[in-house]
Amino acid sequence: MQDSNHIQNLAPFMTKLQKGFALDGADYEQIFSALMSKEYDIIQLAGLLVLISEKSLYADSLCALVQNILRYSNTFNDAQAMFDIVGTGADGLKTINISTTVSFILASLGVKVAKHGNGAISSQSGSSNTLQAIGIKLDSDINALRDLLAKKGLAFFHAPFFHKAVGEVAPVRKRLKIGTVFNVLGPLLNPNTALTHQIMGNYLEEVNFLLAQTLMKLGRTHALVVHGMDGMDEISLCDETLIHELKDGHIYEYRITPEQFGFKRAFHTDIQGGDSAQNAKILQDTLNGELKGAKRDIVVLNAMFALYTADKVKSPSDAKFIIEYALDSGRAWEFYQNYISEFK
């Protein structure tokens, strides 16, 4: 941080929030200008983060926050149909890498997937950890990733490489030791600012509808925000899942169970992963059709809803045979092997 004479006073924004008014785009523009020029007081920033998290959770305000973060991010704008599946993390359930596996399956079926992800938050191995274990180099060159996306239909965007503003607040968040709005922001920050289709997993039930509203304001055309009632930031195989679906400019709320789609309910221990090497093996054994049971089932269930959200089928049920055939016929495995060969 710079000399105190150059420090931006963040108190007016805290006062505004204390009076019950949400922050808007102009507020966030000033805040992030101070943040990115390092002209701020760390104590004020901590207070501001807490107040935003308590007093400014409205779709317009959250959208403005996201847009100002993205102003300082390395982004691109590609309006062709493109899909992302990513969760907030922090559900504490230490599951296998479901969304990463789903990304390979969908890409093998012709869906263009711009997968946004991070390292582990509450599991032993997050998406990015597992990708490295299977030999995928995490690239910070957005043009190289766009070329890969065009060539293969799948690219992985490691969040810390792209979002400078998120990195700037990370030390404050770490020292606060409490949850803030940034705990649920990650999946809203896909580097493609014109992303059309998305499934967002969310560990915090009370913001599920808010996140769907925000995705609508960010321009998504078809999106699901999913929250397992067991706390899972995926569609759960162990409990009901609350879903807010954005489609055709409307948001619909409903709940689903595994049994509705022909799956046996599982225990959390049945779908737990391990370290990055173990999760990589589980991912590979799922894609090559060898793995059966709950780990495969939760991947198939989430992939069904993903194919539906990508507008490739009329309902999730219509996707079940397609997903299972992709795994059992070798299609998903062939795609995976071909994709991995790019990194050798």
Is 220 annotated in some ligand binding site? no
Place of tokens 């993903």: 306
Q: What share of the chain in percent tops pLDDT 90?
A: 92
Is 120 annotated in some ligand binding site? yes
Helix/strand/coil for 193:
coil
Is 234 annotated in some ligand binding site? yes
Residue 3 has pLDDT above 70, yes or no: no
DSSP letters spanning 251-272? EEEEEE-GGGGT-----GGGGB
Residues 119 and 219 both lie in one domain: yes
Residues 230 and 283 both lie in one domain: yes
Q: How far apart are CA 108 and CA 152, in angstroms?
A: 9
Residues 337 and 205 both lie in one domain: yes
DSSP letters spanning 103-118? HHHHHHTT--EEEEE-
Residues 312 and 230 both lie in one domain: yes
Is 16 annotated in some ligand binding site? no
Residue 71 lies in a domain: no
Question: Average pLDDT of 34-57?
Answer: 97
Residues 90 and 52 both lie in one domain: no
Is 312 annotated in some ligand binding site? no
Is 276 annotated in some ligand binding site? no
Q: How far apart are CA 185 and CA 173, in angstroms?
A: 13
Is 121 annotated in some ligand binding site? yes
The alpha carbon of 27 is separated from its chain's Cα centroid by a whole number of angstroms, namely: 26
Is 95 annotated in some ligand binding site? yes
Q: How far apart are CA 188 and CA 185, in angstroms?
A: 6
Residues 113 and 181 both lie in one domain: yes
Sorting pLDDT into bands at 50, 70 and 90, what band is 111? very high
Using the 3D structure, point to which of 15, 37, 56 is the last residue of a domain: 56
Is 98 annotated in some ligand binding site? yes
Is 128 annotated in some ligand binding site? no
Eight-class DSSP state of 73: B
Residues 138 and 278 both lie in one domain: yes
Is 208 annotated in some ligand binding site? no
Residues 155 and 301 both lie in one domain: yes
Question: Which ranges in the chain belong to alpha helices (H)?
Answer: 11-18, 25-36, 42-55, 59-71, 98-108, 127-133, 142-152, 164-176, 182-185, 208-217, 276-287, 294-309, 316-328, 331-340
CB distance 49 to 172 below 8 Å:
yes
Do strands 241-247 and 250-256 pair parallel, antiparallel, or not at all (unpaired)? antiparallel
Burial of 3 (0-12, 13-18, 19+ CB in 10 A): exposed
Using the 3D structure, point to which of 39, 56, 73 is the last residue of a domain: 56
Question: Average pLDDT of 79-83?
Answer: 98
Chain segment 225-272, per-residue pLDDT in tens: 999 999 999 999 999 999 999 999 999 999 999 999 999 999 999 999
Sorting pLDDT into bands at 50, 70 and 90, what band is 1? very low
Is 118 annotated in some ligand binding site? yes
Bridge partners for 157 per DSSP: 116
Residue 65 lies in a domain: no
Sorting pLDDT into bands at 50, 70 and 90, what band is 34? very high
Give me the amino acid identity at 55: K
Residues 270 and 318 both lie in one domain: yes
Is 115 annotated in some ligand binding site? yes
Residue 315 lies in a domain: yes
Residue 264 lies in a domain: yes
Residues 10 and 114 both lie in one domain: no
Residue 310 lies in a domain: yes
Is 146 annotated in some ligand binding site? no
Residues 180 and 281 both lie in one domain: yes
What angle, 0 to 180 degrees and rounded to 10, lies between the N-to-C axes of helices 276-287 and 294-309?
70
Q: How far apart are CA 202 and CA 100, in angstroms?
A: 16
CB distance 101 to 286 below 8 Å:
yes
Look up the CATH number of the domain holding residue 296.
3.40.1030.10
Question: Average pLDDT of 287-294?
Answer: 98
Total domain count, the chain: 2
Residues 286 and 181 both lie in one domain: yes
Is 123 annotated in some ligand binding site? yes
End-to-end CA distance of the chain: 42
Residue 251 lies in a domain: yes
Residue 61 lies in a domain: no
Burial of 171 (0-12, 13-18, 19+ CB in 10 A): exposed
Residue 229 lies in a domain: yes
Domain boundaries, position 256: 83-161+169-343
